[in-house]
Amino acid sequence: MMPDDYDVELANNIIYDPWTGDFFRTLRSGYRRGMPVKAGYVNSRGYFVIRFKNRVIQAHRVAWFIYYGLWPGGIIDHANGDKLDNRIGNLRIATPTQNNANMKAKGNKLKGSTFIRRIGKWQAQVKCDGKTHYLGLFDSEADAHKAYIRAATKLFGSFARPA
């Protein structure tokens, strides 16, 4: 499949540094002509995005396109969980389940554990491909979390994030 004009222009006007994850655009006019200037900004969801030809594109997708020469077919996951770290070594294709498994825990709660007040125990569970896997009841949040980590590592491999 031949790239369209937009893809060619993007690749010719945006410079991507795969080692730092930075993006630059080359100025075509003015007194600083030919000097690269930083491109992009952080959007309201905390992702670095690039505006090009009246389109706003997530920078991690632009990085993938520039580095590999094709647009990613699915979700791009930030392996270390940092939405702003667009180094190519930190980006990987993921399924929705893998991407969710790599999300950070919300608040100060340990991932995979829920306190069941009526029985005074901690329940552990993990969700994979839309199915909830019940892991048991535990006396402490830490024990429930350990059960979650074991199951998540088995189900998600390198996408499992303990915290």
Model pLDDT, residue 27: 64
Residues 23 and 88 in one domain: yes
Residues 86 and 15 in one domain: yes
* 121: β partners: 116
Q: Using CA atoms, how far apart are residues 23 and 17, in angstroms rounded to an integer?
A: 6
Task: Quote the mean pLDDT of the chain.
Answer: 88
Select from 94, 129, 146 the last residue of a domain: 94
Residues 84 and 143 in one domain: no
Instruction: Establish if 99 belongs to a structural domain.
Output: no
Select from 47, 62, 94 the last residue of a domain: 94
Model pLDDT, residue 94: 93
Residue 153 has pLDDT above 70, yes or no: yes
Q: Tell me the pLDDT tens digit for each residue of 39-88.
A: 899 999 999 999 988 899 999 999 999 999 999 988 999 999 899 999 99
Q: How confident is the model at residue 22 (pLDDT cuts 50, 70, 90)?
A: very high
Model pLDDT, residue 30: 52
| Residue 64: CATH number of its domain | 3.90.75.20
Range of the domain at 27: 5-94
Model pLDDT, residue 64: 96
Instruction: Establish if 14 belongs to a structural domain.
Output: yes
For residue 88, report the phi and psi dihedrals to the nearest 5 degrees.
-60, -30
Residues 55 and 128 in one domain: no
Q: How confident is the model at residue 12 (pLDDT cuts 50, 70, 90)?
A: confident
Asked which of 32-36, 47-51, 79-83, 111-115 is least confident by mean pLDDT, the reply is 32-36
Q: How confident is the model at residue 1 (pLDDT cuts 50, 70, 90)?
A: very low
Q: Using CA atoms, how far apart are residues 106 and 61, in angstroms rounded to an integer?
A: 25
DSSP 8-state symbol, 105: P
Looking at the 3D structure of the chain, how many domains does it have? 2
Model pLDDT, residue 18: 96
Instruction: Establish if 71 belongs to a structural domain.
Output: yes
Model pLDDT, residue 150: 93
Q: Tell me the pLDDT tens digit for each residue of 92-103.
A: 999 998 888 888
CA dihedral 83, 87, 93, 98 (to 10 degrees): -40
In 3-state terms the chain splits into helix, strand, coil percentages (rounded to 5) of 30, 30, 40
